[in-house]
Structure 1
Amino acid sequence: MKLFAIVGTNADFSYNRILLKYIQKKFSKQAEIEICELTELPTFCEDDDLNNYSELVDIEKKITAADGIIISTPEYDHAIPAALKSLLEWMSYKVHPFKAKPVMVVGASYGTQGASRAQLQLRQILVCPEIDAYVLPGNEFLLGNTAKAFDKLGNLTEKVEDQKLQNCFNDFIDYINHFHR
Structure 2
Amino acid sequence: MKKFIAIVGSNSKSSTNRNLLKYMQNHFKDEADIELAEIKDLPIFKKSPEKTVPEYAIELANKIEAADGVIIGTPEYDHSIPAALSSALAWLSYGQHPFVDKPVMITGASYGSLGSSRAQAQLRQILDSPEIKARIMPSSEFLLGHSLQAFDDDGNLKDKDTIKQLDGLFADFLKFVGISEQLGGATAANMEEARNFNWEDNK
Q: Flag whether TM exceeds 0.5 (same fold).
A: yes
Aligned length: 181
CA distance in 1, matches of 2:140, 2:3: 20
Q: Which residue of 2 aligns with 1:125?
A: 126
5+ residue gaps, structure 2: 183-203
The secondary structure found in structure 2 opposite 1:3 is strand
Deviation, structure 1 residue 94: 1.5
Q: Which residue of 2 aligns with 1:14?
A: 15
Deviation, structure 1 residue 64: 0.5
The secondary structure found in structure 2 opposite 1:138 is coil
Identity %: 50
CA distance in 2, matches of 1:32, 1:42: 28
Q: Which residue of 1 aligns with 2:138?
A: 137
With over 3 angstroms needed to count, the CA separation of the structure-2 counterparts of 1:50 and 1:26, relative to structure 1, is farther
CA distance in 2, matches of 1:9, 1:50: 25
Deviation, structure 1 residue 180: 2.2
CA distance in 2, matches of 1:49, 1:26: 43
Q: Which residue of 2 aligns with 1:34?
A: 35
Deviation, structure 1 residue 52: 4.8
Q: Which residue of 2 aligns with 1:5?
A: 6
Moved over 2 A (4+): 48-53
2:180 counterpart of 1:173: no
5+ residue gaps, structure 1: none
C-alpha contact (below 8 Å) 1:127/1:133 kept by paired residues = yes
Residue type of the partner of 2:16?
A: Y
CA distance in 2, matches of 1:50, 1:7: 25
C-alpha contact (below 8 Å) 1:50/1:90 kept by paired residues = no
Residues 103-135 of structure 1: CA deviation (Å, up to 9, x unaligned): 000000000100101001001100111100000
Residue type of the partner of 1:90?
A: W
Deviation, structure 1 residue 170: 0.4
Larger Rg: 2
CA distance in 2, matches of 1:144, 1:158: 11
